[in-house]
Amino acid sequence: MSQTNIPDDIKVHGVYERTVNKDWMDPHIEELQRDGFTVVRGALNSEQLNQTREGLDYLYDFQLKEFGEENLAAIKDKYIVRSMLAYDDFFLDHIALNSKVLPIIKKVLGTNISLSSQVGIMSPPNDILYQTAWHRELQYQHFTSSRPIALQTLICVDPFNATTGGTFFLPGSHLHEPFPSNEYIRKNEIQIIADPGDVVVFNALTYHRAGVNCSQSVRRAINNLYTLPIIQQQINISRMLNGKHKDDPFLAGLLGYRWETADSVLAWRNAHLKK
């Protein structure tokens, strides 16, 4: 993506610099820069979607039994599945490392990145989850950055529309520190309409909220939060994986092995000596 001479297809006046997209990723990156979000269509095929649904349903039931439904409700974690990739390689290979999404993440954030969290959301019919409140993925933060420090991917496993409660975004809100007025929100919020397999990629400082699922079916989604390693993982994925993928240079960073805090001065020095 570059600023160069104006192409002939769209007429302008008094303009001599303009962004020109050079590959398939550049339009998405331009939307990320200007709007704070973009939609990548068809990132998962029907077979992958079926496996995603089966895996989410199985792991939700497993984690529900493991911790207890009442306990999950008490900490507002009901209908949530966490760190699926630690249980099933599919959620690493086809979700966190998705071939249509990860190249965009790398082009924006670089290759020294960390997967801060992977979360499945099982939005039931006619139940209002806490995610329906406006928020930034980096919560409690009222700053902006000249470059993105974190990107979130929202993988639509089921249809996202007005009936199922597709996610709402405030375009450009990653560029402003304070949360806007009620009047501005009502006028400018945009609801994403997406098919199963589509992925919304957005700046983690872009304000967004879930819609209410008014359909008769569960609406599933997966959030992956990719960050610069200055942001700590929500759950220590590398410890859950117990050394798995540690020898892969990129995965060692993505999964958190490279960014773990040393237990002592000696441990820190020994780790650097082995590099």
Distance CA 70, CA 84 (A): 21
Does 54 map to a domain? yes
Question: Of how many residues is the chain composed?
Answer: 275
Q: What is the CATH number of the domain that holds 198?
A: 2.60.120.620
Instruction: Give the model's pLDDT for residue 114.
Output: 98
Distance CA 52, CA 95 (A): 9
Does 17 map to a domain? no
Domain that holds residue 166: 24-262
Q: Taking the chain, what is the end-to-end CA distance rounded to the nearest angstrom?
A: 35
Tokens of 192: 């994403």
Instruction: Give the model's pLDDT for residue 7.
Output: 56
State the DSSP H helix or E strand holding residue 55, giving kind and residue range, or none if neither.
helix 46-67
Strands laid side by side in the 208-209 sheet:
190-191, 168-169, 208-209
Distance CA 19, CA 13 (A): 15
The DSSP result for 223-265, as a single string, is: EEEEE-TTS--SS-HHHHHTTTTTTSHHHHHHTTGGGPPPSSH
User: What region does 90 belong to: left with phi over 0, alpha with psi -120 to 50, or beta?
Assistant: alpha
Does 270 map to a domain? no
Structurally, the chain folds into a number of domains equal to 1
Does 174 map to a domain? yes
Please list the alpha-helical segments (H only) found in 116-256: 182-188, 237-241, 249-254
CA distances 216 to 82, 125, 181, Å, are 24, 6, 33
Instruction: Give the model's pLDDT for residue 1.
Output: 64
What are the pLDDT tens digits along the chain (275 aa)? Answer: 655 555 567 888 999 888 999 999 999 999 999 999 999 999 999 999 999 999 999 999 999 999 999 999 999 999 999 999 999 999 999 999 999 999 999 999 999 999 999 999 999 997 777 778 999 999 999 999 999 999 999 999 999 999 999 999 999 999 999 999 999 999 999 999 999 999 999 999 999 999 999 999 999 999 999 999 999 999 999 999 999 999 999 999 999 999 999 999 999 889 889 87
Does 58 map to a domain? yes
Instruction: Give the model's pLDDT for residue 149.
Output: 98
Radius of gyration of the chain (CA): 20
Does 131 map to a domain? yes
The closest alpha carbon to 69, from 22, 16, 122, belongs to 122
Does 7 map to a domain? no
Distance CA 61, CA 72 (A): 12
The answer to whether the beta carbons of residues 91 and 84 sit under 8 Å apart is yes
Residue with tokens 């960014």: 259
Does 230 map to a domain? yes
Instruction: Give the model's pLDDT for residue 9.
Output: 77
Instruction: Give the model's pLDDT for residue 6.
Output: 52
The closest alpha carbon to 119, from 148, 79, 150, belongs to 79
The predicted model scores a pTM of 0.94
Instruction: Give the model's pLDDT for residue 10.
Output: 84
